[in-house]
Amino acid sequence: MKKIVIVGGGAGGLELATQLGKKLGKSGKAKITLVDKNTNHLWKPLLHEIATGTLNDELDHVNYLAHAQHNYFSFKQGQLLNIDRENKTIQLNDVVDSQNQIIFPKTDISYDLLVMAIGSTSNDFGTPGVKEHCTFLDDQNSAKQFRKSILSTFFRFSSGIEKKEKLNISIVGAGATGVELTTELFSMVKTLGSYGFDKLEPSLLNITLIEAANRILPALPEDASKNIQLKLEEFGATVLTNTKIVKADENHFYPEGQDPIPADIMMWTAGVKAPDFLKDIAGLETNRANQLVVKPTLQTSRDDAIFAIGDCACSAKPEGGFTPATAQAAHQMASICAKNLIALVNGNKLSTFAYNNKGTIISLANTAQGVVTTIGKNQMGVKGWMASCIYKMLYRFHQVALFGIFKTYRLIRANKVYRTARTTVNMD
Ligand SMILES: Cc1cc2nc3c(=O)[nH]c(=O)nc-3n(C[C@H](O)[C@H](O)[C@H](O)COP(=O)(O)OP(=O)(O)OC[C@H]3O[C@@H](n4cnc5c(N)ncnc54)[C@H](O)[C@@H]3O)c2cc1C
């Protein structure tokens, strides 16, 4: 029986494990093992909502062990350290508990086919001071820590302990994460104000969104990016384009050739790279962003037994350029990768991956805007409730891939019921 090991149970990896479990694990044609350093999955595009408390992280978690048991694969907790291609094994680090005691020691797992799906982390592009002084939204822990710290800051302003008139928040990187975080922060303070907390209103926030390019959201057409900038300014944000940050210290960002920008809270959302330890791991080919270079079949360029999908994969598009690091791409790659692994087990021909951009929708707190790709590959602008529905659909597709339609419907209902008994902003 073939041993298929998937490392990383995120947007791509968990969908892949679920599909393979049902199609190969159930019939005993292959043994599927999912490895992740965490015990629970949370869909990463929800992180800014976790950070601002607008989403209940408990209800949107998927426990890997329970999900594996229901979907005919096994789960092993562990952090990947290295790959031994000669002996076809991966090495996992010790798993420690909250007191730093080892609960599972270092171990090796053998594979016939391996899939790397370990995602990405924030890229500070080596900018001095950023690593030390900025907050990154990389995982559930960083999002929760940010929520706790911003809530304390808001409450200090409300109680009068903090005497300043305004709270300066600077966010570097006006891609989807920076833009969505900005509007969620305004929405968060407004909701807290509606609970009766003094001084908590949008005018308390002085949010500066800083972008090196000549416009925000460079992935969107120019008019869509202009409209969204206007919307951000309506919320009360200051948007600085053509502003390249070259240094950060405890309370300032330093733009090239301009005056320092003061900031009480400093966020960095200016791009991603695959984890540093992937650089040339086991002699595999990587690019400058540490991504594993893959062929159109999603097999790595130097080893047909190792596949890579999602943010950690560098996949060239047939028309030029590269597949973007998005959940949409990870979802599409998971489907082709599943098809190819099943084909390998059954001795069939492999398919090739071609990214199909279905559009980009940006959530702007209570509304959304963006573009969808229509027949003929033209892009059509969408706004308001329609855009909000399409934005939510991407997450629903992910849930359907994991749970099927009926269970997803029940989860949506459960979430609605739960919302009636909790504050809109999670204050835990
Ligand atoms: C705030 C935010 C908003 C976003 N919004 C959107 C959006 O609206 N639309 C969109 O398409 N995309 C969005 N994205 C991008 C999207 O989240 C990623 O492109 C997507 O999650 C990538 O999927 P993945 O499977 O490659 O990696 P991930 O989903 O990041 O999963 C990686 C998994 O690997 C595990 N892992 C990492 N290292 C190791 C290791 N060494 N050993 C074992 N396990 C490991 C992690 O625990 C994780 O479970 C957003 C991202 C962020 C941060």
Ligand 1 atom closest to the CA of 363, numbered from 1: 8
Ligand 1 atom closest to the CA of 327, numbered from 1: 11
The CATH number for 70's domain is 3.50.50.60
What DSSP assignment string belongs to 330-368? HHHHHHHHHHHHHHHHHT-PPP-------EEEEEETTEE
pTM: 0.94
207 plus 266 within the same structural domain: yes
Summarised one tens digit per residue, pLDDT across range 18-50 is 999 999 999 999 999 999 999 999 999 999 889
Name the pLDDT band for 145 (thresholds 50, 70, 90).
very high
Helical residues (DSSP H) of 13-124, grouped into ranges: 13-20, 47-51, 57-60, 64-70
H or E segment to which residue 6 belongs: strand 2-7
Which residue type occupies 340? N
For residue 230, the enclosing domain spans 130-272
> Residue 254 falls within a domain, yes or no?
yes
Order across the sheet with 261-262: list the strands. 245-249, 252-255, 261-262
289 plus 312 within the same structural domain: yes
| 280 pLDDT more than 90 | no
Summarised one tens digit per residue, pLDDT across range 301-360 is 999 999 999 999 999 998 899 999 999 999 999 999 999 999 999 999 999 999 998 888
User: Closest Cα to atom 48, ligand 1: which residue?
Assistant: 10
> Residue 352 falls within a domain, yes or no?
no
Residue finishing a domain among 324, 346, 368: 346
149 plus 268 within the same structural domain: yes
> Residue 426 falls within a domain, yes or no?
no
Q: What is the pLDDT of residue 376?
A: 64
134 plus 102 within the same structural domain: no
What DSSP assignment string belongs to 274-326? --GGGTTGGG--B-TT-PEEE-TTSEETTEEEEEE-GGGEEEB-TTSSB--SS
CA of 311 to the centre of ligand 1 (A): 7
Summarised one tens digit per residue, pLDDT across range 62-88 is 999 999 999 999 999 999 999 999 999
Number of domains comprising the chain: 3
| 91 pLDDT more than 80 | yes
Average pLDDT over residues 271-290: 95
Q: What is the pLDDT of residue 421?
A: 74
Residue of 49, 185, 326 with the most ligand 1 atoms within 8 Å of its CB, for mutation: 326
Residue of 39, 44, 183 with the most ligand 1 atoms within 8 Å of its CB, for mutation: 44
37 plus 100 within the same structural domain: yes
| 60 pLDDT more than 90 | no
| 373 pLDDT more than 90 | no
Q: Which residue has the tokens 């996992």?
A: 92
Provide the percentage of residues in the chain whose pLDDT is more than 70: 99
| 52 pLDDT more than 80 | yes
| 379 pLDDT more than 90 | no
